[in-house]
Amino acid sequence: LIVVFIDNKTSPMSIPSFIYIFLSIISIGLTAIIEEIIFRHYIYKEFTKTQSKLKAIIFTSMIFGGMHLLNINSLSSIPYCLVQSVYTFGIGLILSIVYLFSRNIIYPITLHFLFNFINDTLVTSIFNIEWNFVFFIVNIIIGVLIGLYSLFIYKNYLIEEVFEYVS
């Protein structure tokens, strides 16, 4: 079953739903834990040693988005991976800002898990949505908007922080 689950050519509906969801939870959970420890706990912290927090957030998110280019498995998947790279940059901004505010790796792990589980498992299996270009365009728009909103929140947080230190 694990081989069937990992095989990209197998649709989620070809194995029993509860097994698919169970295996998704394990796979997505491990992915979220590993990626967040690498990107937020280690890479972000290393950037903050030499860069501002804002630059550390942006650089970490760029690397996070760029890492998703590794999902290319054929020439036809290049446009999809480019789109995924952009929306994961937006998600990376959010996760980095959450980590900055919370100073706790559990929160970005939880959000990362929820995003991937809802997007990859629930939406595609419940609504039987295909991974086509429109699906990725919607994801990229959502990622960019949420990324911009996260930067807006971060900017306002910095302004409040400066006023706190001044007064």
**pLDDT at res. 166:** 43
Average pLDDT score over residue span 105-109: 92
**pLDDT at res. 106:** 92
> What is this structure's pTM?
0.69
DSSP 15: S
Judge whether residue 165 has pLDDT over 60: no
As a three-state string, the secondary structure of 44-64 is HHHHHHHCCHHHHHHHHHHHH
**pLDDT at res. 1:** 33
Average pLDDT score over residue span 89-114: 90
Chain segment 25-68, per-residue pLDDT in tens: 899 999 999 999 999 999 999 999 999 998 999 999 999 999 98
Q: How confident is the model at residue 24 (pLDDT cuts 50, 70, 90)?
A: confident
Sort residue 103 into left (φ over 0), alpha (ψ -120 to 50) or beta. left
**pLDDT at res. 167:** 45
Judge whether residue 7 has pLDDT over 50: no
Q: How confident is the model at residue 132 (pLDDT cuts 50, 70, 90)?
A: low
Q: What is the largest CA-CA distance in the chain?
A: 62
CB atoms < 10 A from the CB of 97, how many? Answer: 22
Average pLDDT score over residue span 101-106: 89
Helix segments in the chain, DSSP class H: 2-6, 17-36, 45-50, 53-67, 78-102, 106-116, 123-126, 133-166
Interacting residues of 9 by C-beta distance below 8 A, sequence separation 6+: none
Average pLDDT, the chain: 78
